[in-house]
A and B are shown apart, each in its own frame.
Chain A
Amino acid sequence: MFIKSLMVEGVGRFTSATHIDGFVGGVNVLAARNEAGKSTLFRAIRTCLFSRHDSKVQEIKDLGSDDSQLPATVQLTFVHNEHTYVIKKCFLRSPSATLTEDGREIARGKQADEAVWELLGLSPGSGRTLDDGAFGVLWVGQGASFRVPAPGAAASSVLNSAIESEVGALIGGERARQAVEDINTELRRYLTDTNRPKSDGPLHRAVQEVEHWQAAETEAQGKLFALEQQFTNLLQLRQRHQELTDPAATDQLAKELVEARVSLTDARSAAQEIRRFEAEESSAKRALEGASQRLKQLRDLTLRIDASRQSEAAQTKGLPEQQAREQEARAALLRTQEQLADIEKQAHGLSTQEQQLEKLAAASIRAMRKDDLARQLTALERASKELLQVDAQLTQIGIKPKQIEDLDELDRNIATLDAQLSASAAHLTIEVKPDGIGQVRIGSTQPEGAHSAPILAPIKITIGELAVVIVTPAPNVRHEERLSSGAERSVLLESIGVATSADARALLSKRRDLEASRKGVLTELKTLQVTGDPAPVIAKTKSDLAETDAAISAALTDTQRQSLPSGKEIEQEKFELSQKRAPLDARRASLEETRQQQQEALEGAVEVRSGSESTIKHIRKSIEDDTALCPDSERAARDVSLVTDVTTAETAHQTATTVLSAKRQTTPDAAEIERREVRSQRLEQALENRKNDLIQLEREIGRLTGHIQTAGGDGVGETLAAAREQRMLAERERSRIQERAATLQLLRDTVSNCLTEGREHYYEPVRKHLRPYLHDLFPGAELELGDDFAITGIKRDRTETFTRLSDGTQEQIAVLVRLAMASMLAERGQTVPVILDDALVYCDDDRIKLMFDALSRAGKHQQVIVLTCRLRTFAPLGGHTLRVQVPSEIG
């Protein structure tokens, strides 16, 4: 089939007759803007070919122009099997249909509808729908180009026929697919897609069942194990109980205890007896020691008495000699003391004379200082008087150097101002002629000869009686300043109390002279040791003078002299006294030494003598005391008696020692007693332990018995057996389902593999036709096809799932598959035009060129009609351009 022309009227926006002529074989491009009616034309072609002319379905209602009173008319001219056919159908109003072949009407109305279908090999189907066969695959409406071609039954049949003519039928494919689907349906009950047991599925339940019974079995096993353990423990406890309650063993233990206790009692009694014998031995020993001690004391006493008596005799014998020695020493000392007293008396006289000489010497010295004091007093009084005078004058002159400095400053300022005024002032020059002398007076001055002065202030010039000229200088600002300074100086001079600056300076000079004089007086006073007010110093000097006079007077009185001797005389007298004193001092020292020695000798003699007396007294007292204890008359008798006591005590002690020793040989020692105590305690403890063990054991037996009875009552053995069988059953069921699933998986995989292999072989013709188109865009790529020509993936460097490709690529591949199908059909004589309405919208510039190459390749075998709004993109790609001709253009 190949479309030649199309005419529409009352269709969509084409209210008047509109023609599209000039369709050619190969690629036809109808490029028009959006809403130009391209899709309307596409639907018009479909409706004209595949719909009954009298149909009132919505699709046809939608085809008509709005508010049009005309029928929707479509006329399609096409060539088929070398005949030209024109099918014209009017829809909605006055519906009609006519079909002409090579210009001859061959059918009308319903026959025309069906005749077209018959021509194109379409089946009207059982209902009102029409299976449009290959047209359904190759005519791609707006938006449909993205969908993978899914041929309908007729299209599939056509395609399958084409394939089977090349490679034969895919036998059993459908049954295999169904089988795989059925198996998968069952498998999905067992397993998830990741081969895990499906939640709540039979396998999952079986696994849970196994886990449940495993847990139950473990729990019951644990209980049974515990029960077993309890049985074992109970048996052991019962055996132990039997041992503990064995009367023979108990009797034996009790008997051992009695024996141990008796043995211990015996040992303790023996030990007590030993202690008594030990006490007796100790007592005898103490008695012996006492007797021996008393004998010894007696003998020591008698020996001491004898020794004391001998000592007393010796001391008494030496005592008179010691007393004579003491008397002699005492007399020598007395003599020496008398000589010393005489010497002391002489020395005292010399000392008195020496003291008088010292007083005279002192008075002489003070007499010599008396003149100095008198001179000093005079100088002090004079200087004091001068100071008072200068201070009185200084009080009169109050000028201060600062005032002179201020005055000098004012003078300098006034001089400067005067100089300035003078420089700028008029100059008065008067030459007084001799006749005029005395007549001319300038101010108060009477100049003679030439007189020249600047006029700084109004000057009154009196010329005798002739005239009084007053010269007034011109006003000058400095005048004010000058007057101010002058006034200031006047005030200052007045405060100083002088009339002129020279007076002031003279006054200051006078003050400075007075100050210099005062300084001199003060310096003089300072040399007189006066730093402040001289009056007290003067008073003290006067006092010193009076005191000196009194001292001299006293010295003369004391020495009974009329006048003070001279220094020389005093020194002579001192020398003479010293000549007397030297031998006197030597003698006194010698006597003092002698006295000291004699004193020591006396003390030694006294000490010896008193020591002897004391010793004798002490010995006598000792003898008195000792003889009181043991009179000489009783000495012998006592000695004999004590010797007898000692002998008796020795005998008694020896007897006690022998008895004790013999007893010790037969009595258990402390270690033995302790051992018997320990044994006795151990046996008592053993009996007690036995009793406690029995109580504990019976309690434990009771507890275990309770546990066992409880476990037995619970039927734990039966529970375990049941759980074990349930677990085994569950495991068998799980294994059965797992085996079933594995079997189904193996069967499914085997059938699937065989199906895939068959499908691969079956689809090879499709791939063969597709490959050139596909390689136009995707060099080296292969498509993977599923059931019913479904595209499942594309293999380039790797296999990619079709649905994960970009929308644009999916569309391009879908269009290429359609072209391949068209190509395959065309080879079998099924030339159906390929119509693409607004396809390839997502193609980039490079891809669109490649797609157009593919379209051009398809155009070699059949007609390709491209409806597009992409005017500029498609214009340069080639192909035959179609135009929509409105009536005016036709005209």
Chain B
Amino acid sequence: MRFIHTADWQIGKVFKQYGEKEEILRQARLAAIERLGELARKNSVQHILVAGDIYDNEAPNAITLRAPIERMKTFAEIHWHLLPGNHDPHRPEGVWDRVVQLGLPSHIHVHLTPTPVPLSDGAFLLPAPLLRKSEFDDLTAWMDSAATPAGALRIGLAHGAVINFASEGEATNPVDPARLAKANLDYLALGDWHRTLQIGPAVWYAGTPEPDRAGRQERGTALLVDISGPGAPVSVAPLTTGTYRWLTRTERLSDGSELADLDQRLRREQDLSRLILRLKLEGTLPLAAHAELQRRLVDLEAAVFHLDLDQTALVVRPTEGDLEAIDFDGVLRRSAERLKLMVDDPALSAETRRRAEDALIELYLRVVDQQQGKAA
């Protein structure tokens, strides 16, 4: 038995912070479905199991509702098994009733009740659909007593947080990691955790096929699962499905000498144009280096798909040279020194010091820009 395990498509997720690029990211999530279909064809897979959160919310608009269905329709030879998750729980007249009312083709299966469903090759799917956003009971418990023919493969499909993982999971929908043994499952396909993760010998989180935020999985993935027979070991291979890479980096700076190296390292990342980079900068920089950093960051932002910059932990420490660049003496120099005193004054609030730092940078930039303008 071979199938693809995927989850957390989150179709309809909004990306307003990305401005004009929002629609690209939304389309990328739909493209991941097509990629899954292509991978299924390529790997001769008949069944794709989607472990919940097909939609980002349970009230998508009409286009969003239809978009993934239409993508799946183009892969008619593949059976798509969809499970409601905590983002799109099944409730009367909810998103899944709307989907069903669209008139689904026979190869798209929506599993809205905890009932064993025959797949092929004597395998049975045991779905555990979520009927609410938050369940306090383990909805996979029913699998323990779910009757399937003797010798049948039993594949569990659920969406939730494996116990002891709840603090990292998205919802409080517990799933007992021992369910595999308790329910005599051959594989437990899980969704909810946006990272490919093996919980047990045959218990996996597939991760999302297209990441939607930094700090989790970098690339979109799915799992190609092979089970030779009941009780046999499971073979799981990751498949890359995502278009964009979501990279998070934290870099520490001290005097600006590392700027060129940082620039080079970042630029060495693959597919810069499809890189969504969250860059957190820490440490201290002289004013001149800070200005240099800002110039480089502008260039970098143009090079990547999106740059999400966090400089809150980066402190400016003007050097004597910085201050002299403002002026050797006189009113502006005294102003710069006064601001520097504020930056260094521990009696002031962090906000005030931060603002003094920004003012100092602003003064520096204005003076330097003016000088450069004159020089030009």
Q: Which interface residue of A170, A705, A747 has the most chain B CB atoms within 10 A?
A: A747
Q: Does B17 interact with chain A (Cβ within 8 Å)?
A: yes
Q: Is B302 an interface residue (CB 8 A)?
A: no
Q: Which residues of B contact A182 (CB under 8 A)?
A: 366
Judge if A722 is at the interface, Cβ distance under 8 Å.
yes
A758: chain B residues within 8 A (beta carbon)? 330-331, 334
By the criterion CB–CB under 8 Å, are B91 and A755 in contact? no
Q: Determine if B16 and A729 form an interchain contact, defined as CB atoms under 8 angstroms apart.
A: yes
Bound complex: CA of A173 vs CA of B330, how far in Å?
7
Shortest Cβ distance from A743 into B: residue: B358
CA distance A227 to B60 in the complex (A): 12
**B93 near A705: Cβ-Cβ < 8 Å:** yes
Q: Is A718 an interface residue (CB 8 A)?
A: yes
Pick from B13, B59, B358: contact of A715, CB below 8 A: B59
Report yes or no: B359 in contact with A746, Cβ–Cβ below 8 A.
Answer: yes
A742-B359 Cα distance, complex, nearest whole Å: 9
Contact status A176-B59, CB under 8 Å: no
Give the complex CA separation of A753 and B334 in angstroms. Answer: 10
Instruction: Tell whether, in the assembled complex, residue A716 and residue B59 are in contact, meaning their CB atoms are under 8 Å apart.
Output: yes
**Beta-carbon contacts of A225-249 to B below 8 Å, as 1s and 0s?**
0010001001100100000000000
- With an 8 A cutoff between CB atoms, is B113 at the interface? no
B39 to chain A, nearest CB (A): 28
Given A743-B362, A747-B359, do A754 and B331 touch, yes or no (CB 8 Å)?
A: yes
Check A718 against B334 for contact (C-beta < 8 Å).
no
Minimum CB–CB distance for B228 against chain A, Å = 42
The closest CB in chain B to the CB of A169 belongs to: B330
Q: How far is the CB of A172 from chain B (nearest CB, A)?
A: 3
Q: Are A173 and B64 in contact (CB under 8 A)?
A: no
A760 to chain B, nearest CB (A): 12
Q: Provide the A706-731 mask, 1 if CB < 8 A to any CB of B, else 0.
A: 00110111111111111001101100
Q: How far is the CA of A704 from the CA of B356 in the complex (A)?
A: 57
- Check if B355 sits within 8 Å of A750, measured CB to CB: no
B201 at the A/B interface (Cβ < 8 Å)?
no
Given contacts A176-B330, A722-B14, A747-B363, contact A715 B335 (CB under 8 A): no
Considering only CB atoms, which chain A residue lies closest to B366 in the complex?
A: A179
Tell whether A514 is near chain B: CB-to-CB under 8 Å. Answer: no
Q: Tell me the complex Cα distance, A182–B367, Å.
A: 11
Query: In the assembled complex, how far is the CB of residue A228 from the closest CB belonging to chain B, in whole angstroms?
Result: 9
Interface centre among A227, A711, A721 (most CB of B within 10 A): A721
- Name the distance in Å between A854's Cβ and chain B's nearest Cβ: 34
State in angstroms the CA–CA spacing of A720 and B12 once bound together.
Answer: 12
- With contacts A712-B93, A713-B61, A717-B58 known, is A176 near B356, CB below 8 A? no
Residues of A within 8 A of B366 (CB): 179, 182
The CA-CA distance from A172 to B356 in the complex, in Å, is: 21
Contacting A at CB under 8 A, from B50-88, are 56-62, 64-65
Q: Do the beta carbons of B327 and A172 come within 8 Å of each other?
A: yes
Cross-chain contact A234 with B92 (CB below 8 angstroms): yes
Q: A171-B329, A176-B330 are in contact. Are A750 and B338 (CB under 8 A)?
A: yes
Complex interface: chain A residues within 8 A of B335 (CB): 176, 747, 750-751, 754
Chain B residues whose CB sits within 8 angstroms of the CB of A722 once the complex forms: 14, 16
Question: Is A231 touching B327 in the complex (CB atoms < 8 A)?
Answer: no
B338 contacts across to A, CB distance below 8 A: 750, 753-754
Q: Is A224 part of the contact surface with B, judged by Cβ < 8 Å?
A: yes
Chain A residues positioned under 8 Å from B233 (CB to CB): none
A729-766, CB < 8 A from B: 729, 739, 742-744, 746-747, 750-751, 753-755, 757-758
- Closest Cβ neighbor of B63 among chain A residues: A715
Q: For chain B, residues 340 to 376, give those with C-beta under 8 angstroms from any C-beta of chain A.
A: 355-356, 358-360, 362-363, 366-367, 370
Complex-state Cα separation, A751 to B362, whole angstroms: 12
What does DSSP make chain B's interface, helix, strand, loop or mixed?
helix
| Residue A335 interfacial (CB < 8 Å) | no
Contact with A along B271-310 (1 / 0, CB 8 A): 0000000000000000000000000000000000000000
A175 touches B14 (CB 8 A): no
| Residue B332, interface by CB 8 Å | yes
Within 8 A of A (CB), among B237-283: none
Task: Determine if B107 is an interface residue (Cβ-Cβ < 8 Å).
Answer: no
- Give the nearest-CB partner of A755 in chain B: B331
Does B231 make an interface contact (CB < 8 A)? no
A715 touches B61 (CB 8 A): yes
Whole-angstrom distance from the CB of B52 to the nearest CB of chain A? 16
Docked pose: A224 CA to B133 CA in angstroms: 14
In whole Å, how far is A232's beta carbon from the nearest beta carbon of chain B? 9
Q: Does B95 make an interface contact (CB < 8 A)?
A: yes
**Which A residue sits closest to B361, measured CB to CB?**
A743
- CA A415 – CA B94 in complex, angstroms? 154
**A718 and B94 contacting across the interface, CB-CB below 8 Å:** no
Chain B residues with CB under 8 Å of A754's CB are 331-332, 334-335, 338
Q: For the complex formed, measure the closest distance between the CB of B308 and the CB atoms of chain A, giving whole angstroms.
A: 12
Q: How far is the CB of A682 from chain B (nearest CB, A)?
A: 32
Contact partners of A235 in chain B: CB under 8 A: 91-92
Contact yes or no, A179 B98, CB < 8 A: no
CB distance from A528 to the nearest CB of B (A): 142
User: A709, B93: Cβ atoms under 8 Å?
Assistant: yes
Residue numbers in A under 8 Å from B15 (CB-CB)? 725
The residue on B at minimum CB distance from A182 is: B366
Q: Kindly state whether residue B109 has any CB partner on chain A within 8 Å.
A: no
Least CB separation from A232: chain B residue: B91
- Inside 8 A of B360's CB, which chain A residues have their CB? 747
Task: Please state if A718 and B16 are interface contacts (CB–CB under 8 Å).
Answer: no
Residues of A within 8 A of B35 (CB): none
For residue A713, give the distance in angstroms from its CB to the closest CB of chain B: 6
Q: Report B349 CB to chain A, min CB distance, Å.
A: 13
CA distance A701 to B172 in the complex (A): 30
Q: Knowing A171-B331, A173-B331 touch, does A750 contact B93 (C-beta < 8 A)?
A: no
Residue B339, interface by CB 8 Å: yes
User: CB of B333 within 8 A of chain A?
Assistant: yes
Known A-B contacts A175-B330, A747-B363; the reply to A718 vs B57 at CB < 8 A is yes
Determine the chain B residues whose CB is within 8 A of the CB of A729 once the complex forms: 16-17
Closest-CB distance, B242 to chain A (whole angstroms): 21
* Residues of chain B within 8 A of A175, CB atoms compared: 327, 330-332, 367, 370
Q: How far is the CA of A407 from the CA of B238 in the complex (A)?
A: 176
Question: Do B12 and A726 touch (CB < 8 A)?
Answer: no
Query: A125–B360 Cα gap in the complex (Å)?
Result: 40
| Docked pose: A714 CA to B339 CA in angstroms | 53
Also in contact, A231 and B61, with CB within 8 A (given A176-B332, A739-B355, A743-B355): no
Is B339 a contact of A231 with CB atoms below 8 Å?
Answer: no
| Distance (whole angstroms) from the CB of B60 to the closest CB of chain A | 5
Q: In the A-B complex, list the 7 residue pairs whose CB atoms are closest, starting with the nearest.
A: A715-B61, A172-B330, A171-B330, A717-B57, A717-B59, A176-B331, A725-B16
| Interchain Cβ contacts under 8 Å between A and B, 29 examples | A171-B329, A172-B327, A172-B331, A172-B332, A175-B331, A175-B332, A179-B366, A182-B366, A234-B93, A705-B92, A708-B92, A708-B94, A711-B59, A712-B65, A713-B61, A714-B61, A715-B59, A718-B60, A721-B57, A725-B16, A725-B17, A729-B17, A744-B362, A747-B360, A750-B339, A754-B334, A757-B334, A758-B330, A758-B334
Partner-B contacts on A (CB < 8 A):
170-173, 175-176, 179, 182, 224, 227, 231, 234-235, 238, 704-705, 708-709, 711-722, 725-726, 728-729, 739, 742-744, 746-747, 750-751, 753-755, 757-758
- Interfacial residues, chain B to chain A (CB-CB below 8 A): 12-17, 56-62, 64-65, 91-95, 98, 327, 329-335, 338-339, 355-356, 358-360, 362-363, 366-367, 370
